[in-house]
Chain A
């Protein structure tokens, strides 16, 4: 196994898990849900397990304490208070720091880092210690296991409670047992009459919280070791009256290993830890378990499906391998099944996905060729077949593309933490409202949009939202709101970052721009144009340069990043009410539904989702606009724009496209119908090419260029979603 690769995966996964943990913690603050607690526990538990695989003991040790505390929260023994949430958030950060150190190549603990973690551990233990009624310092161990220094336990141990000569009973009473007039206690007493109970563990996991607990429902289960001369039938006979409503498993003394294995598999508890289970079954004692845990932490462990604890136990001779194996499978299952929908996803290498999409693209191209040939050959059977083929290929294409689409919600949720921390840092009370989390976009775009969005959000917090006093004066709620919204609009994804702060100061911006020499003082600009000035390099009107923004390097970088994604950004503002920054990005599909148009000798592709309709060409004399059902439709002659010099056809056509709420016509030579194919990027040489966004290969092998409609619209008519170029 390539250790480096595995370690990289560990780092990636741990980061994701820490993110999950953080989100769940922030959610717990609001919703206080059971689900959040489970999510938090799962994250910590998984990190601990994985860290153990790599022998990252310092991480295991730290996470172990966190996990123990979370276990108590999960069992309802500890409440998730605000204080606890803040503590756990700090633990998340500490773990993050440790993961970063690992990534930097430092797999041994750093003394400074250990020192930073120590106070956290103290606090964690303090929280748990409050409920420590003498149950010992290892909360992960079963609290139900008898302690050596208790009188009750001593007595039983004196009697030499080895399980090898005893029967093992696993007993779970049904919920209605009490209502039916039975009492589990009497059954157990009766057991005591046919033999000697040498070990008994009462299981109370099933008792819910007080508000849900029904006093007449039975929640108890027992694991019992019984020495007796009676045979199995007699033992079963003891429970004859409740046989229907409870589950009973009996294993004879010196039972074959397979039986124990089966027992473990059938144990219903979802939360059983391996150690607890083995102890419960009497396969090992608590002391052996503790030794094994210690040895595990020392030794590091074997990878793959077998968690190390089992291996260590077997190594020490404390447990039979087959039993351990079954317990491990059971544990893995229980951990996996506690994850709801999440476990149904798998991690896929992005390169493999890209390869798949390329292949699908090729498939589409070849399919189009086949279709074309079939039509030319005029063989109806062949044509039918290729049509069906095209349909199937289209379905494959859609599925493949979906693989790359991710919901923007995950990105938005990351900002909860940003807002939480930043607002606290600068002393403002700010909340984040998020909508449109289900809006999907391509994975590569998601990755690249994070930084620009972060800057926009920080900006909104830092400069947008006014200090509390000012807000009070203005009669606004003291808590400022930053809002993130996303939705699809004609082939693009639109992301809005807005705040209900003071809005942009139009005059101050203009003045600053004049001062910086960006604009002539007497230039007439619309409000939108003035607001757009904030994206110019070197521009910033922040009076104080804070830690976050205000150094004047932010907004222009944001714009550059977004432009690099072939997107646009614009700003709108209402003084006193707030500001909204709108980012528009292409959905960047690798495969495009297009409409072919002819121009000169070439064929071009217009993205289908930008097209409203196609009409015959007609124009108002001498002008570049036409009458479309009573409305003025401006158009652009692509022949002129592209310098096509072949003679035009007798009748040209207009493709009506819509972009950013405007409708514009594109004059072309001919209309050639719908066509779907894969986008082939044009390479760096063409990166500055404004009106073409890519190329594609037609069924006949020719290359067709894909029109960048927003750019064309911007070029031709001056109606643009972007800020126009300023005087140099």
Chain B
């Protein structure tokens, strides 16, 4: 697995003066989403994944990241959409999230990675009550980029370990009772 990009933190320092935050934009099912780069550790090519049985659809499996076993989520499935198809540009974004005080490293599968952009706070609007077709708690805001809206994801919620843990519990129980 080769690292396609290591997010540079220096860039953050530079833009701090202007008060805008930096986001990584990516494609998922034809739509553009974004995640704040502070949470992102690295981005790698998709190359083989070990499926873990009896887990919910949105947990695609695990990968070996330099000796650490990291779970990989399929955001499309997480948003209730059909599972992501593996393509040439499919990538895994490695994100560090806070799970009840513990740091967890999770990989997120995306169709393609776009650029890192600056979005000034003035250009960020609150999440809509409905209409975005994904759960509102997953959205931390709507960023205006080039006249279009980009959904800024709340990674702690999207990748909520406790929620996923519970989901896994349900699917395992279901199997037990068969």
In the assembled complex, B54 has its CB within 8 A of some CB on chain A: yes
CB–CB A715/B175 < 8 A:
yes
CB–CB A685/B50 < 8 A:
no
User: From residue 135 to 178 of chain B, which have CB atoms closer than 8 A to chain A?
Assistant: 161-162, 164-166, 168-169, 172, 175-176
In the complex formed, the residue of A with least CB distance to B63 is A703
In the assembled complex, B8 has its CB within 8 A of some CB on chain A: no
CB–CB B54/A691 < 8 A:
yes
Bound together, the chains give a CA A576 to CA B17 distance in angstroms of 80
Question: Which residues does chain B contribute within 8 Å of A642, judged by CB atoms?
Answer: 53-54
Contact of B52 among A365, A600, A684, A705 (CB under 8 A): A705
CB–CB B104/A684 < 8 A:
yes
In the assembled complex, A643 has its CB within 8 A of some CB on chain B: yes
Bound together, the chains give a CA A715 to CA B175 distance in angstroms of 8
CB–CB A362/B104 < 8 A:
no
Bound together, the chains give a CA A702 to CA B48 distance in angstroms of 8
In the assembled complex, A46 has its CB within 8 A of some CB on chain B: no
Main secondary structure of the interface of B (DSSP, over half): mixed
B177 to chain A, nearest CB (A): 8
CB–CB A690/B53 < 8 A:
no
CB–CB A680/B54 < 8 A:
no
A238 to chain B, nearest CB (A): 76
Question: Which residues does chain A contribute within 8 Å of B169, judged by CB atoms?
Answer: 688
In the complex formed, the residue of A with least CB distance to B53 is A642
Contact of A686 among B63, B71, B175 (CB under 8 A): B71
Most B C-beta atoms less than 10 A away, residue of A682, A684, A687: A684
A685 to chain B, nearest CB (A): 5
In the assembled complex, B62 has its CB within 8 A of some CB on chain A: yes
In the assembled complex, A641 has its CB within 8 A of some CB on chain B: yes
In the complex formed, the residue of B with least CB distance to A704 is B50
In the assembled complex, B86 has its CB within 8 A of some CB on chain A: no
Most B C-beta atoms less than 10 A away, residue of A683, A691, A692: A683
CB–CB B68/A689 < 8 A:
no
In the assembled complex, A695 has its CB within 8 A of some CB on chain B: yes
Bound together, the chains give a CA A362 to CA B64 distance in angstroms of 13
CB–CB B69/A703 < 8 A:
yes
CB–CB A685/B165 < 8 A:
yes
CB–CB A643/B53 < 8 A:
yes
In the assembled complex, B117 has its CB within 8 A of some CB on chain A: no
Bound together, the chains give a CA A685 to CA B102 distance in angstroms of 12
In the assembled complex, A601 has its CB within 8 A of some CB on chain B: yes
User: From residue 691 to 710 of chain A, which have CB atoms closer than 8 A to chain B?
Assistant: 691-692, 695, 697, 701-705
CB–CB B164/A685 < 8 A:
yes
CB–CB A685/B51 < 8 A:
no
CB–CB B166/A688 < 8 A:
yes
In the assembled complex, A395 has its CB within 8 A of some CB on chain B: no
B77 to chain A, nearest CB (A): 14
User: From residue 79 to 128 of chain B, which have CB atoms closer than 8 A to chain A?
Assistant: 99, 102, 104, 106
In the assembled complex, A100 has its CB within 8 A of some CB on chain B: no
Per-residue CB contact flags for chain A residues 328-366 toward chain B (1 = under 8 Å, else 0) read: 000000000000000000000000000000000010010
CB–CB B168/A689 < 8 A:
yes
CB–CB B176/A690 < 8 A:
yes
Question: Which residues does chain A contribute within 8 Å of B106, judged by CB atoms?
Answer: 685
Known contacts A695-B62, A703-B63: A685-B71 contact under CB 8 Å: yes
Known contacts A641-B175, A692-B52: A687-B165 contact under CB 8 Å: yes
A599 to chain B, nearest CB (A): 9
Question: Which residues does chain B contribute within 8 Å of A600, judged by CB atoms?
Answer: 51
Bound together, the chains give a CA A695 to CA B64 distance in angstroms of 10
CB–CB A602/B50 < 8 A:
yes
In the assembled complex, B59 has its CB within 8 A of some CB on chain A: yes
Known contacts A690-B172, A701-B64: A685-B69 contact under CB 8 Å: no
In the assembled complex, B28 has its CB within 8 A of some CB on chain A: no
Known contacts A689-B172, A691-B54, A692-B52: A680-B99 contact under CB 8 Å: no
Question: Which residues does chain B contribute within 8 Å of A695, judged by CB atoms?
Answer: 50, 62, 69
In the complex formed, the residue of A with least CB distance to B159 is A685
User: From residue 3 to 62 of chain B, which have CB atoms closer than 8 A to chain A?
Assistant: 48, 50-55, 59, 62
In the complex formed, the residue of A with least CB distance to B51 is A602
CB–CB A601/B64 < 8 A:
no
In the assembled complex, B131 has its CB within 8 A of some CB on chain A: no
Contact of B104 among A683, A690, A691 (CB under 8 A): A683
Question: Which residues does chain A contribute within 8 Å of B67, judged by CB atoms?
Answer: 362, 365, 697
CB–CB A697/B164 < 8 A:
no
In the complex formed, the residue of B with least CB distance to A682 is B69
Question: Which residues does chain A contribute within 8 Å of B68, judged by CB atoms?
Answer: 680
CB–CB A703/B53 < 8 A:
no
Bound together, the chains give a CA A691 to CA B63 distance in angstroms of 19
User: From residue 384 to 411 of chain A, which have CB atoms closer than 8 A to chain B?
Assistant: none
Most A C-beta atoms less than 10 A away, residue of B53, B99, B165: B53
Bound together, the chains give a CA A682 to CA B69 distance in angstroms of 7
Known contacts A702-B64, A715-B176: A685-B168 contact under CB 8 Å: yes
B156 to chain A, nearest CB (A): 14
Q: A365-B67, A602-B51, A687-B168 are in contact. List 14 more A-B contacts (CB 8 A).
A: A602-B50, A641-B175, A643-B54, A683-B161, A684-B104, A684-B161, A685-B71, A686-B165, A688-B166, A690-B172, A697-B67, A702-B48, A703-B50, A725-B176
A residues bordering B, Cβ < 8 Å?
362, 365, 600-602, 641-644, 680-692, 695, 697, 701-705, 715, 725
* 28 residue pairs bridging A and B, Cβ less than 8 Å apart: A602-B50, A641-B175, A642-B53, A643-B54, A683-B104, A683-B161, A685-B106, A685-B161, A685-B164, A685-B165, A686-B71, A687-B168, A688-B165, A688-B168, A688-B169, A688-B172, A689-B52, A689-B54, A690-B175, A692-B52, A692-B53, A692-B54, A695-B62, A697-B64, A702-B48, A702-B50, A703-B69, A705-B52
**Interface pairs A-B: 8 shortest CB-CB:** A642-B53, A688-B169, A703-B50, A688-B168, A680-B69, A695-B69, A685-B164, A690-B172
